[in-house]
Structure 1
Amino acid sequence: MGRVRVGRVTFDPERIVMAGGATGANEQIIFCLADHGDAFLVPSPYYPAFDRDLGWRTGVEIVPVHCDSSTKFRITRAALEEAYEKARQSNINIKGLLITNPSNPLGISLDRDTLKSLVNFINEKNIHLVCDEIYAATLFCSPKFISIAEVIQEMDCDRDLIHIVYSLSKDMGLPGLRVGIVYSYNDAVVSCGRKMSSFGLVSSQTQFLLASMLSDDEFVEKFLAECSKRLVKRYHVFTKRHEQVGISCLKGNAGLFFWMDLRHLLQQQTFEAEMKLWRTIVNDVKLNVSPGSSFHCQEPGWFRVCFANIDDGTVDIALKRIEAFVPQSKVANTATKKN
């Protein structure tokens, strides 16, 4: 964690609580902070499995903070206040705000001003802030990643309210080893998390292997640099060829995916039309993309595209299929609207 944020922030090993991947870490921190029936604000669009991870066993609810394309899906203070007040009016007890930085599915990292705004918000409301930073080193272009750990060094805030979730599944490509952590500035949370960690232990063998690997500074540095190099190359291949057929995407800088805008291919601006388009893409075009509604996006027509887990030959086939499909879809839409 310190290597990713080199020169800007240091971490205390005594504040780390291990867990079975980021999934286990997110559930663990929710168990520590909230009771059954409490709720967390989560900016949308958000990772669909949060509904499972944060709520299935804890009984905690998710209250979406709706972000839209007019602000390039950035989290605004107005959206936070609106979601918070609506929850309070419905007698929902908000215990905290959970964010992903960089974002899945948007593929963007949060800027310093936004992070400071979030810290001010949770400080004023006296609620917790959980930052899922599992894509912290999976960056491929500017702006650089800014951790919440860096931001709170510059602010006067209650650090007992700040918690970080991290894992090695994305940055080091090790999802199957199930290594996640909660890093909390709150002593009571660290103590509680340690007691709960018996239900999601990381094996001694796994810890020994990772300690050896992560101690090799030269390897880790080269690995992260090579990943970034390959990601930016693949990202530009996808987005440039999408632009050539009239498909725009949210400008991204992180993650293994990008946020694709197909609103102009919808027959109507509805989620029913989005699902119809998605089924066509999956069943007829034979491309596996995810509809925005599955991420609780409030605007139909957005899709997440994962671009990092396929070889170059498959990439070329996928792009040729989308290039053939888009003109046909535009013609069909024009004909439907005329009728």
Structure 2
Amino acid sequence: MGYQSMRGNSSQLLSRIAAGDGHGENSSYFDGWKAYDSNPFNPSSNLGGVIQMGLAENLLCLDMIKDWIKEHPEASICTEQGLTDFEAVANFQDYHGLPAFRQALAKFMGKARGGKVKFDPDRIVMSGGGTGAQETLAFCLANPGDAFLVPTPYYPAFDRDFCWRTGVRLLPINCYSSDNFKLTKAELELAYENAQRDNITVKGVLMTNPSNPLGTTMDRDTFKTLLSFVNQKRIHLICDEIFSGSVFNQSEFLSVCELLEEEPSYDRNLFHIAYSLSKDMGLPGFRVGVIYSYNDAVVRCARRMSSFGLVSSQTQHLLAHMLSDDDFTSEYLAENKRRLHKRHGEFTSGLEKLGIKCLPSTAGLFVWMDLRQFLKESTENGELELWRVIINDVKLNVSPGSSFRCTEPGWFRVCFANMDDATMHIALRRIGDFADKLKEDTTQMQNKKRFNKKLRLSFCRLNDGAIVPHLMSPHLLSPRSPLVKASN
């Protein structure tokens, strides 16, 4: 009896975090991953499986990294050439991180931003991937119940990374397709005023630049408006620049660091950057996250907290060698941009031939695809109905805009850099077949409606063409009407 009672009240034995679902993974964004995991596409063994287009991974330049590792066995402590460093690296390390790694990482971050800014290695704090960087910043800057404003659409996992364990809230700044989802001062002010009206403490703004999921970069005027806003309100700005080295046209990318250098009147204590090697280097499994803050207190606190998710010394040791190789990093960044640009062009032109448009973009590993023309109804339910068909019938894991808090139904994020050319063409063919089927169904439905309309009108005319008023009454198609049988 006691055992059954304990089972029945098991949630009372757990914390609110353990018993709740604040992780945010009960969403279509993560459900798409589960659909892929249960039936993954494989060109050799499962051609009918789900193609993963919901995961922003960059596989296009991994061959360059593998070649470098082959040519530099001394960089690994697991080879004969690098074994002399095994003991030093394997022993406990200060959670400041290996000095050589922080120096190499600071140099790489500057190079990824076109060499227009420099980073101080002493301000770099490491974390377990971009997830750890976001959570640590949330812990350092806000209390449970406090909020950060975030432009929509935004990365769905922020609800987990930034909020789940910290208790911090995210409040949307609505952006719209009418101006390519550009952040406006009016919506920024409105989101802040709404929070104040609801007695919610706003501690800052969280944004991604380049944008995830839009693949766009923030222009100078908009950026200056945002920086002036947070400086005036005395709130923080967290700028996630995880795709900064994945911009097809480097001149279009503006880092927050550049504006801080140009405008000394801004209070630097309010500005923080999150970064990772997961996207630009295609190394998400290495779990290298970075916090770069201009606030000394945040650097100190984040460094103390980094012991909960420090990057392994073996990983730091290897990457310190790799990122210190100037010739390699220069060649890699240039080739990465070239391959991303090529793949982006091939994919978007393939969609355009199918009559499908995407938001113009110049960065990231994905496109913001417009499928509004295929919605049965322009609602979130209509979007999810379309998404379920794409997942279950077309066998493509694409992510619906509603999971990114997009206010306009019918937009989908589609990743294109996590597959080879052959798989991309299979995906395009599936999309084409799907689009043709939907267009055919739509045409048949429209023809049927036109036929029914003409049929009804024909019963309302006499031989001389005059319309008899009483035949237009609602009783025309009643169950008793003899015309019902005639219309079948």
TM-score (norm 1): 0.97
Task: Indicate yes or no: 2:441 matched with 1:332.
Answer: yes
Q: Distance in 2 between matches of 1:194 and 1:336?
A: 62
CA distance in 2 between counterparts of 1:275 and 1:2 reads 41
**Which of 200, 204, 229 in structure 2 is aligned with 1:121?**
229
Distance 2:402 2:214 in 1: 13
Provide Cα deviations, 1:4-39, integer angstroms capped at 9, x if missing partner: 234421111111111111110010011000001100
Number of the residue aligned with 1:242: 351
Structure 2 unaligned regions, length at least 5: 1-108, 450-488
| CA displacement 1:132-187 (0-9 Å, x = unmatched) | 00100011236532100001111221110000011111111111011111111111
Match of 1:5 in 2: 113
State percent identity of aligned pairs.
61
Give the Cα–Cα distance (whole angstroms) in 2 for the partners of residues 84 and 264 of structure 1: 34
Which residue is 1:230 aligned to?
Answer: 339
Letter in 2 for 1:185: Y
1:93 aligns with 2:201: yes
> Which one is further off, 37-46 or 222-231?
222-231
TM-superposed deviation, 1:199: 0.9
- Partners of 1:210 and 1:142 in 2: how far apart? 24
Pairs within 5 Å for 1:95-114: 95-114=203-222
Distance 1:142 1:321 in 2: 33
Offset at 1:336?
4.4
Q: Write the distance in 2 (CA, Å) between the matches of 1:141 and 1:327.
A: 34
> For the residues of structure 1 that align with 2:111 and 2:346, how far apart are their CA atoms?
29
> How far apart, in 2, do the equivalents of 1:40 and 1:235 lie?
32
Task: Indicate conservation of the 8 Å contact 1:143/1:253, yes or no.
Answer: no
Specify the alignment match of 1:82 in structure 2.
Answer: 190
| Pairing of 1:1-339 with structure 2 (within 5 A) | 1-141=109-249, 143-155=251-263, 156-336=265-445, 339=449
Q: Per-residue CA shift, 1:33-79, capped at 9, x if unaligned?
A: 00011000011110100000111110000001111101101111111
- Listed one character per residue, the Cα deviations across residues 206-243 of structure 1 (whole Å, up to 9, x for unaligned) are 11111001001111111111111111111111111211
Whole-Å separation in 2 of the counterparts to 1:9 and 1:138 = 17
Larger Rg: 2
Change (3 A) 1:317 1:7: closer
* Contact 2:356–2:371, Cα closer than 8 Å, also in 1: yes
Q: Distance in 1 between matches of 2:156 and 2:218?
A: 20
Letter in 2 for 1:63: L
Contact 2:394 2:430 in 1 (8 A): yes
Q: Give the Cα–Cα distance (whole angstroms) in 2 for the partners of residues 111 and 121 of structure 1.
A: 16
Gap change, CA 1:86 and 1:334, over 3 Å in 2? farther
**Backbone CA RMSD of aligned residues:** 1.2
Contact 2:114 2:250 in 1 (8 A): no
- The answer for unaligned runs of 5 or more in structure 1 is none
Residues 267, 336 of structure 1: 8 Å contact kept: no
Q: CA deviation at 1:321?
A: 1.3
> How many residues are paired up?
339
- CA–CA separation in structure 2 for the residues paired with 1:224 and 1:153: 24
Instruction: Give, as a single letter, the amino acid of the residue that structure 1 aligns with 2:145.
Output: G
In structure 2, do the counterparts of structure 1 residues 335 and 89 end up closer, same or farther at CA, with 3 Å as the change threshold? Answer: farther
CA distance in 2, matches of 1:13, 1:112: 27
8 Å contact 2:112–2:333 — kept in the other structure?
Answer: no
Is the partner of 1:3 in helix, strand or coil? helix
1:99-140 superposed Cα distances (whole Å, 9 cap, x missing partner)? 001111111111111111110010111100000001000112
Q: Which one-letter code corresponds to 1:286 in the other structure?
A: K
Distance 2:357 2:250 in 1: 19
Q: Matched residues in 2 for 1:109 and 1:32: separation? A: 27
Q: Matched residues in 1 for 2:273 and 2:350: separation?
A: 37
Residue 333 of structure 1 deviates from its aligned partner by: 3.0
Query: Contact 1:267–1:333 (CA<8 Å) still a contact in 2?
Result: no
Cα distance in 2, alignment partners of residues 167 and 210 from structure 1: 13
Q: Secondary structure at the match of 2:111?
A: coil
Q: Is contact 2:241-2:273 (8 Å) kept? A: yes
SS of corresponding position for 2:396? coil
Give the residue type in structure 2 aligned to 1:110.
M
